Amino acid sequence: MTSTLDPRHSPSQAPLIRTATDADLPAVQAIYAYYVLHTASTFEEVPPTVNELRTRWSALSAAGLPYLVAELDGDVAGYCYAAPYRSRPAYRYTIEDSVYVAPHAHRRGVGRTLLDTLIERCAAGPWRQMIAVIGDGTNTGSITLHQRLGFHHAGTLTAAGYKFGRWIDSVLMQRALGPGASTRPDALNR
């Protein structure tokens, strides 16, 4: 048992970022289900099951893409991962980020630390561009977070989604990873 003077109880405690394991998936599912059911930040409408998330997580992990969780006070408070942006081969150096933080843990640096770590890990791999596909043009939290981490506005798809009885825009943001487009990709990966 820890005392309330233990630094781990401090609200300013930095989140611990680590690679997600199978055991984290129920917590990831609970966080994501909230956003599926209550917000337009994702265009999914039915929360995926833990088994479905396991299938997705396994595929990303097998492709060498990072899938991270953030712990606050010993609990999973958020997660972040990179996935292929689109499946056609010429997109192979472009990935899409996703970041979700439990509502009770907002504005404690969890999203920023997760996304910053994801960018760093992806920049160390073969990928050269990261795209954010942000559901809802009114999603100030996600738009500002991405701006803070070097993403620029790349476009807005108007009324690309329909959820909760209204049309929803999709905001595209983008940033380079590592040398971006200034050099050719690794010859082995051409």
Ligand X SMILES: CC(C)(COP(=O)(O)OP(=O)(O)OC[C@H]1O[C@@H](n2cnc3c(N)ncnc32)[C@H](O)[C@@H]1OP(=O)(O)O)[C@@H](O)C(=O)NCCC(=O)NCCS
The binding site for ligand X (CB under 6 A) comprises 35, 41, 98-101, 106-112, 132, 134, 139-142, 144-145, 148
Distances (CA, A) of 177 to 32, 91, 110, 119, 124: 26, 14, 21, 7, 8
Work out how close the CB of 188 gets to ligand X at its nearest, in angstroms, rounded to a whole number: 31
Work out how close the CB of 108 gets to ligand X at its nearest, in angstroms, rounded to a whole number: 5
Give the residue nearest to ligand X (CB): 111
**C-beta closer to ligand X: residue 98 or 129:** 98
**C-beta closer to ligand X: residue 92 or 112:** 112
Other residues' Cβ atoms within 10 Å of the Cβ of residue 58? 12
Q: How far apart are CA 145 and CA 119, in angstroms?
A: 13
- Nearest in space to 134 (alpha carbons), one of 168, 171, 82: 171
Work out how close the CB of 117 gets to ligand X at its nearest, in angstroms, rounded to a whole number: 12
**C-beta closer to ligand X: residue 120 or 186:** 120
Q: How far apart are CA 76 and CA 184, in angstroms?
A: 38
Tell me which residue has tokens 């990966």.
189
**C-beta closer to ligand X: residue 25 or 145:** 145
Work out how close the CB of 8 gets to ligand X at its nearest, in angstroms, rounded to a whole number: 18
The β-bridge relationship of strands 94-101 and 75-84 is: antiparallel
